[in-house]
Amino acid sequence: MAKKNRSTLKRYFREGALPSADQFGDLIDSALNTIDEGFDRSAENGFEISLVGDHDRLISFFRNSAEQQAAWSVSYDKRRDTLRFIQPGQGEEAGATLVLGPGGRVGVNRDNPQWALDVNGIVAARGRIGVNPGDQTSVPADGRWHNIAGPLRGCQGFEVMAGAGNKGTGKYALMNAVALNTFNPRGWLFNFLNLKKRIKYHQAYYLSRGNRIKLRWLGEGEEYYLQLRTVCDYGAGVRVRYYLTQLWFDDDMSESWADLQGSPDEAQGD
């Protein structure tokens, strides 16, 4: 039995013909069967596609009907619960070009994405911008300290990009900084000159150093905040716009020692 095109099937069943059992078999094999083919359609789910047998391929795209190898294919990895977009011509051993994983994770040239967007390659972008907690994007440029992150605990790292200006006054400033903190060490002696949690700046200003934008860590006990202010008051209604990018995501450093749990010899060291 084999699949036949419509013209061939029509000849089998033209007026006066007596189709054979094999020709009836060709007709059946040439028709789609939702159970055998692994797809169906329902009002609830729309178009439904299921894996067939032990194969993981769901859809294949060909440039034309004469091609023997698919240009693109979509497969489902049952072990990792991921949807994989592959160019078979490049060899599947090289991995999928695009992977959609559990929890909304997306991998580009990454078979098992660990982050919301996990890229194994070069990223080109016109710009980069941080996302601020609580969607707050500005604070008053009034010379006073304002919280921009927190309450925080443990080890934290942020990149801050901020700018302020007041047209016609010459008061303009841009600031880029990296702020790192490990459990917010405090005390005049224990944290002499604030050396243990210093903030590294790149500053630009137009008229005066008094127009600069500054950051500091502030807090007592286990919780602390990252704060921002302008050195001077820019005037009524003027605000500092800023963007915050988080750089560190293991606040208690548990990923440093988690693998040692249950292994006393390794935990004690040499």
The verdict on residue 220 lying in a domain is yes
pLDDT at residue 245, rounded to an integer: 95
- Residue 33's pLDDT band, with cuts at 50, 70 and 90, is low
3-state DSSP percent of the chain in helix, strand and coil, to 5: 20, 35, 45
pLDDT at residue 270, rounded to an integer: 41
Indicate if 78 and 163 belong to the same structural domain. Answer: no
- Residue 32's pLDDT band, with cuts at 50, 70 and 90, is low
pLDDT at 200 exceeding the cut of 80: yes
pLDDT at 12 exceeding the cut of 50: yes
The verdict on residue 261 lying in a domain is no
pLDDT at 45 exceeding the cut of 90: no
> Could you tell me whether strands 171-182 and 224-230 are parallel, antiparallel, or unpaired per DSSP bridges?
unpaired
Distance from C-alpha of 212 to C-alpha of 232, rounded to nearest angstrom: 8
pLDDT at 19 exceeding the cut of 70: yes
Cβ proximity of 92 and 70 under 8 Å: no
Average pLDDT for the chain? 84
Neighbouring C-beta atoms of residue 200, cutoff 10 Å: 10
Indicate if 143 and 99 belong to the same structural domain. Answer: no
**Structure tokens that stand for 38 in this block:** 């692994």
The verdict on residue 208 lying in a domain is yes
pLDDT at residue 119, rounded to an integer: 94
- Reference 96, options 106, 111, 83; nearest CA is 111
Domain count for the chain, please give it: 3
pLDDT at residue 30, rounded to an integer: 62
Burial class of residue 46 (count of CB atoms within 10 Å of its CB; 0-12, 13-18, 19+): exposed
Indicate if 23 and 47 belong to the same structural domain. Answer: no
Indicate if 150 and 224 belong to the same structural domain. Answer: yes
Indicate if 97 and 149 belong to the same structural domain. Answer: no
pLDDT at residue 100, rounded to an integer: 93
pLDDT at 263 exceeding the cut of 60: no
Terminal alpha carbon distance of the chain: 70
Mean pLDDT, to the nearest integer, of 131-152?
92
pLDDT at residue 188, rounded to an integer: 65
Helix H or strand E encompassing 230? strand 224-230
Distance from C-alpha of 171 to C-alpha of 234, rounded to nearest angstrom: 7
pLDDT at 250 exceeding the cut of 90: yes
Indicate if 106 and 139 belong to the same structural domain. Answer: no
Q: What are phi and psi of 78, to 5 degrees?
A: -65, -35
Indicate if 97 and 194 belong to the same structural domain. Answer: no
Cβ proximity of 39 and 52 under 8 Å: no
pLDDT in tens, 165-188: 999 999 999 999 999 999 988 776
Output the CA–CA distances (angstroms, integers) from residue 225 to 158, 180, 191, 254, in the order listed. 12, 12, 17, 22
Neighbouring C-beta atoms of residue 41, cutoff 10 Å: 9
The verdict on residue 214 lying in a domain is yes
pLDDT in tens, 216-247: 999 887 899 999 999 999 999 999 999 999 99
- Residue 159's pLDDT band, with cuts at 50, 70 and 90, is very high
Indicate if 54 and 25 belong to the same structural domain. Answer: no
pLDDT at residue 268, rounded to an integer: 45
The verdict on residue 125 lying in a domain is no
Distance from C-alpha of 104 to C-alpha of 115, rounded to nearest angstrom: 9
Output the CA–CA distances (angstroms, integers) from residue 218 to 55, 183, 194, 221, in the order listed. 58, 12, 11, 10
Indicate if 157 and 235 belong to the same structural domain. Answer: yes
pLDDT at residue 185, rounded to an integer: 83
Identity at 60, one-letter amino acid code: S
Indicate if 42 and 23 belong to the same structural domain. Answer: no
Examine residue 151 and say whether the peptide bond preceding it is cis (omega within 30 degrees of 0).
yes
pLDDT at 265 exceeding the cut of 60: no
Does pTM surpass 0.85? no
pLDDT in tens, 105-128: 999 998 889 999 999 999 999 999
Indicate if 46 and 19 belong to the same structural domain. Answer: no
DSSP code, position 192: G
Indicate if 74 and 7 belong to the same structural domain. Answer: no
Distance from C-alpha of 213 to C-alpha of 226, rounded to nearest angstrom: 13
Domain limits for position 213? 133-246
pLDDT at 267 exceeding the cut of 50: no
